[in-house]
């Protein structure tokens, strides 16, 4: 328990899908003048150095960020994604060179903090004490942000409903423990009970067939009968016992035009990140009323 560190995976294909989706959700959420609320249940530290001993071990960013960094079509579709990465690296005094992948990659808290407005309020939860210490340090000067050490799934009950009745709950658990799947389902149900108008974005991994629980997770979330969209990207073939071959996002109470936006992104991500035996899917599982 608590051995997971997201820095090992920073900037990989799962992060690319996850954070492009997050950018599109925040775009819709901030289009109106009214303030919004953002809750990140598994925030980690918020900023990752791709040259650190964790990230450099397997260099997983080569399967994601490195493949799409110079993609002009994707930059045009989701300019926010690239703008946030550039902002972070500019703050670290990095000077871009042609073909060079930036040395720092933002986590979901940094994307959210950058793409929200002065009127918005953000809460970041993290259970790992070392990650939390770095998280609090990274965002200590932003008065809009509240950081708390604790179990994000367990905290949704007390955090919701928020005083601002427009918002996004972003769930990015590690699924380090098998029980995380059931806990994620319960947390989504709690969110819908206490904040039924809020958007919920739940990330999940696609593992080898002997270990994969993504189909059951999707079916259980679908049974909650809330409007539901699924996007999934699988760069590798799904083998019997292989590790993570892809990942997906379940968006509850998905916003208008998200399907079309993600479809355009997948048309670029699939040929850029997927091998011959890879795959992608985008489906509306429960229609809006």
Binding site feature residues for S-adenosyl-L-methionine? 19, 42, 108, 126, 151-152, 172
Helix axes 79-91, 108-115, angle to 10 degrees: 100
- From 15, 120, 172, 212, the catalytic residue: 172
Of the candidates 36, 35, 42, 52, the one whose C-alpha atom is nearest the C-alpha of residue 18 is: 42
**33 catalytic per annotation:** no
Helix (H, G, I), strand (E, B) or coil at 198: coil
DSSP H or E run through 49: strand 47-49
Q: How many CB atoms lie within 10 A of CB 15?
A: 25
Helix (H, G, I), strand (E, B) or coil at 51: coil
Q: DSSP label at 101?
A: P
CB neighbour class for 172 (10 Å; exposed up to 12, middle 13-18, buried from 19)? buried
Of the candidates 211, 219, 159, the one whose C-alpha atom is nearest the C-alpha of residue 185 is: 219
| Catalytic annotation, residues | 172
């Amino acid at each position: 328990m608590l051995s997971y560190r997201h820095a090992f995976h920073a900037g990989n294909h799962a992060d690319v899908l996850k954070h492009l989706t997050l950018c599109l959700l925040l775009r819709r959420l901030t289009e109106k003048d009214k303030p919004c609320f953002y809750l990140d249940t598994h925030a980690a530290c918020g900023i990752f150095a791709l040259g650190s001993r964790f990230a450099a071990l397997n260099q997983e960013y080569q399967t994601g960020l490195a493949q799409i960094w110079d993609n002009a079509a994707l930059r045009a579709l989701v300019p926010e994604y690239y703008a946030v990465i550039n902002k972070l690296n500019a703050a670290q005094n990095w000077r871009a060179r042609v073909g060079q992948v930036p040395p720092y990659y933002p986590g979901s808290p940094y994307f959210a903090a950058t793409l929200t407005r002065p009127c918005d309020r953000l809460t970041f939860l993290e259970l790992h004490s070392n990650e939390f210490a770095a998280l609090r340090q990274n965002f200590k000067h932003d008065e809009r942000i509240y950081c708390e050490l604790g179990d994000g799934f367990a905290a949704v009950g007390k955090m919701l409903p928020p005083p601002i009745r427009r918002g996004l709950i972003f769930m990015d658990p590690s699924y380090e423990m098998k029980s995380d799947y059931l806990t994620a389902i319960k947390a989504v149900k709690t969110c819908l009970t206490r904040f039924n108008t809020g958007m919920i974005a739940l990330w999940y991994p696609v593992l080898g067939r002997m270990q994969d629980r993504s189909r059951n997770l999707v079916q259980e979330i679908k049974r909650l009968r809330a409007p539901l969209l699924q996007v999934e990207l699988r760069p590798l073939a799904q083998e019997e016992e292989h590790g993570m071959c892809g990942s997906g996002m379940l968006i509850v109470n998905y916003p208008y035009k998200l399907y079309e936006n993600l479809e355009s992104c997948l048309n670029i991500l699939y040929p850029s990140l997927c091998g011959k035996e890879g795959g992608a899917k985008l489906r509306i599982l429960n229609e809006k009323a």
